[in-house]
Chains A and B, each alone.
Chain A
Amino acid sequence: MSALAAAVADERANECSVPNTPGWRPGARWARGCADAVEAEIARLPAHQRPPMRELGRRSEAADHPFRALRPDEARGHVPFSLKDQPPAPPRRETMRAANPAPANPPVVTSLREGAKVVVHAACPAARALGLKRGLALTAARAMVPGLIVHPADPAADAAGLRRLAVALARKWSPAVAVGGEDLIFLDLTGVSHLFGGEAAMAARIVAVLGRAGHGARIAVAGTPGAAAALVRHGAPPGEPSFAAPRPRHAGMRQARQSNLADAPDFRIRHPRDDGNPYAPRRARQQEAAAATPDRVLLCPPGEDADWLAPLPAAALRLDSADVEMLRRFGIERIGQLAELPRGPLARRFARALERLDQALGRVAEPLDPVIPRTAIACRQGFLEPIATAEGIAHWLGELVPRLTAELAAAGLGARAIELVAERVDHVPQRLRIGLARASRDPAHILRLIARRIEEVEPGYGIDAMTLHVRRAEPLGPMPFDERLDAEAAPDLAPLIDAIANRIGMARLWRVRAVESDVPERSAAPAPPLAPDAAPPSRLAADDVRRLGDADHIPAWHPEWPRPARLLKRPERLDHVVAELPDRPPARFTWRGVSHRVVRADGPERIHGEWWRRLGEAHAVRDYFRVEDEDGRRYWLYRRGDGMRSVSGDLSWWLHGLFG
């Protein structure tokens, strides 16, 4: 018996996909679980490795109609039949963070319009693994990879992000950092790398730091910017077998650089002349880190630039495509071939290529245009003897403010916020902050604003030093002045607004702008006090049909409908109202305990709720009346509801405003 059970267990262990029972037929119920497993296995494959439909054979269920589920504008996000069981897309940030994303990550690309067609601008690693690359038509990419996630590319934001990164690098790693292209940053390592434990350790640390910040990066260190730029794109150390074509791993990395979804730059680093290293133990540790990211860092030993560059393709010299094509026609594909040719005949036709070659080999200088991190502007004045009087503070403010404005003028900036920090003997800093409505560097104006509030400074036992910090600044070029002496210039309100705002605060100073709304509370909204008076001119053509929608000649407030001079902050309930339904004004009402008899009235003016703002107002109605009592006092009342439908309001009466 046990032998029989063992045989059964044995049979079950290596169960065949087709059971050895009679009556086998395709699609039978017992075969479905097996089919599910096969489908799951297929779904696990990348899209381009899946067997085509004809190999799968007939399926038991009907496929979706390929167009039924598409959204009217585009097919993003939905896949007709095959990828339904993919996990939902993780947040974009996560996608970018993943250095080697799991195959479960859905492919993401960004798209850019080039002329008449939309092409892939950048692709994430998952998308590159599926064969998507830069320059591919987006329609082709969508056909290749169903369920492709497409975001619009923003090259300007990418450039700005790269520049921010360069500034951050310049603050931390090297004083000379230059942006070299849309995905390229140069760092001058001269005299710097020993501070970080040598070139290899420094490069590894930069890669690691950028990796934590969500950027993938490659680094090549060479003697010149040109050589570093060539190596970081196409480079591999000599002696590798496959120079003819970049190795696949480098090809992938190159695409990783080109694909910078947000900003995944590469760094070319000029070779330092100084290789002294006082941090030997740290270096060992950091070389381990470098070993952890071997294919992201490429170190070209000094003096071997030419050897390393020789096998690289000519495009590595940062030539444009026309030059590369021309070189290719002459049979020059590698940098080494170009370098071996006699220069005389080449110079006329390939001046640019030779210049790049000379730059890469160090025969011609290639100056970098470094980014300069902005430094905070501040003026400090220390005192030998502590000062404690308002006159002393005012005197030294008169010295400090012109110095500050001179620095602002040199930087081409105007201050929007300035802080005075007075350092007291007992180390309790006294802070005084002023704001300006418009960027300004007028010393008299700034001095007036600060001097007015000197009494807020508590000198205590005395003030050791005073510092003026520019807390916020805006670019401010030279201002034109009105050259016509006989014309009356419009008065400049900015000094007045500064003076008032520094006394009561910007929040309590406002203008009113008209809002297109019939609901009285919403028809006026506060605006900044120095708001530009005129709307920016429309960029539409004169005969554009959208100009018909321009309502600038129609005022937002109707000039004829009566509006009160003062509007109560919230309407006040009226009592003892005697009014006829549905649309008669009240005959008498009581407000704040005083009874009023209405002599004359106008109305109703019906104002409907704005359902597009709040769903609760969908049916709300207010009937406004202007009424005058027997003493001639004129009020603005309204009744909730139209008197016909109870859903429009509860027929209560409210007082909302007062006419004079």
Chain B
Amino acid sequence: MLKQLTRSALEHLLQQTAADYRLQVPQRLADGTRQLAPYGSGELSLFGETPQRKPTSAFFPQTEPLLKIDSTGAVQLPAAAEKPLALFGLDAHDLHGIAFIDRFFSAAPADDVYLRQRTNALLIGLTGAAGPDQSFLPLSAGNCDIELIASNDHWLAVAYSETGEQLLEPFPDGDNDRLRALREETSSYRAIRPDSLQKASELLLHDRVPDDFWEAIAARCILCSGCNLACPTCTCFCLQDRQRADGTERSRVWDSCQLDAFMREASGHNPLGSEALRTRRRIHHKLAADPQRWGELGCVACGRCDRACPTGIGIFAVAEEIVKRYEKG
């Protein structure tokens, strides 16, 4: 289904969505950053830089209550949310990131805590002339309910699910030729992922990256863990208990493989006992382990870790360095 929305029609679609969903939309915050925030809490930002907070945090938040255990050992689950989530403003990278962790958390045994947030949630992509200064953002792979494609003074709206079709039903049909042209523009656009990621992946899979490389990269790491916290496909967590008046609240909290305690066992044995091993793990996991396990890179090339890293060792930078040093050698 292809429809066309004016600015007021888009507002109408969002209002309608907000009636049935906890809708988050991109907004320009007072500090100048662009982030997803509850609809109606600020001014809608329809183009601009990618929000630095990862969109997957809506479904896998930094701290998430799992259950409560009372004094008898009985377990109680948190109350279900009244409405499912809806995220508007996701680009192709972010939709890819959500699809990646959908598969991860759905793999048997399915993570019911993730599914409770994610099931029936609505994803609305925002591509086309929606980048900084209305620059072109490549179209999505259709891994959303609705994709809004900014074009001149209107938005083409493609429905990819039954729910998406219902929501777009009232709007006038869009121009198929225009959609075709935008899709062609996407295919001629630079690859969604830089070549260096794929090349670095192959070098890692063929064990062509020596240990002293990781020593040198790790020497630049300040252990802030910003790379992991910003990455939409990072899913590692640890458990945390808090004693409350009515029992123990058990939560999960994001963890970082860059930290010494990540794999340390009670015996003191630590399979990732050096910064070099942990830095290798961060990059190797995305570029070599994930392709082996899931058949694709674990990096969706959103650029967040490279923006977050104060010392320039985000995954693009490291992949480029790997390719530069070892591609021919």
Does A associate with B in a complex?
no
